[in-house]
Amino acid sequence: MSSSKVGIFFVVDNEVLFDAVSVQQGERCDNFIEHGGHYDFWDKLKPSNVIEQIFKDRAYDAYPRGRIVYFIREQKFRLYADTCLNSNDLKLVKEVFGIRNAVRTKDEHYQCASCNLDFMD
Ligand SMILES: [Zn+2]
């Protein structure tokens, strides 16, 4: 678990953009540890490559996103993600966060422009 991370991510054209810290450095709330915010990440990002520029050019919630949270009592990671992300996308995400196993959990908060019928750019 020492190298495993918690935080937030976006998947943009098969690349993972993320803000992650080790579990030890995460923010503890009750029974879980998390880190970061999707809007904050987008807001503060100064694009330094094409993918980041593509991402920044649209609203913060235009691309599929999710979060990895560590649950203390259960000693388990949970992966909250947009339902449109496929197993390849999630494999990349787990690699980036240094996690082998995570319980996938649907969360209707995390909907991209394609999944969210009410989305406006
Ligand atoms: Zn989606």
Q: Give the Å distance between the CA of 82 and the centre of ligand 1.
A: 5
Residue 3 has pLDDT above 60, yes or no: yes
Confidence of residue 18 (pLDDT cuts 50, 70, 90): very high
| CB distance 35 to 19 below 8 Å | yes
Q: Give the Å distance between the CA of 111 and the centre of ligand 1.
A: 5
Residue 112 has pLDDT above 80, yes or no: yes
Q: Give the Å distance between the CA of 89 and the centre of ligand 1.
A: 12
pLDDT at 39: 97
| CB distance 80 to 102 below 8 Å | no
pTM equals 0.93
What's the 3-state SS for the chain? CCCCEEEEEEEECCEEEEEEEEHHHCEEECCEEECCCHHHHHHHCCCCCHHHHHHHCCCCCCCCEEEEEEECCCCEEEEEECCCCCHHHHHHHHHHHCCCCCEEEECCCCCCCCCCCCCCC
Residue 1 has pLDDT above 70, yes or no: no
Q: Give the Å distance between the CA of 65 and the centre of ligand 1.
A: 8
Q: Give the Å distance between the CA of 2 and the centre of ligand 1.
A: 31
Q: Give the Å distance between the CA of 27 and the centre of ligand 1.
A: 27
Residue 119 has pLDDT above 90, yes or no: no
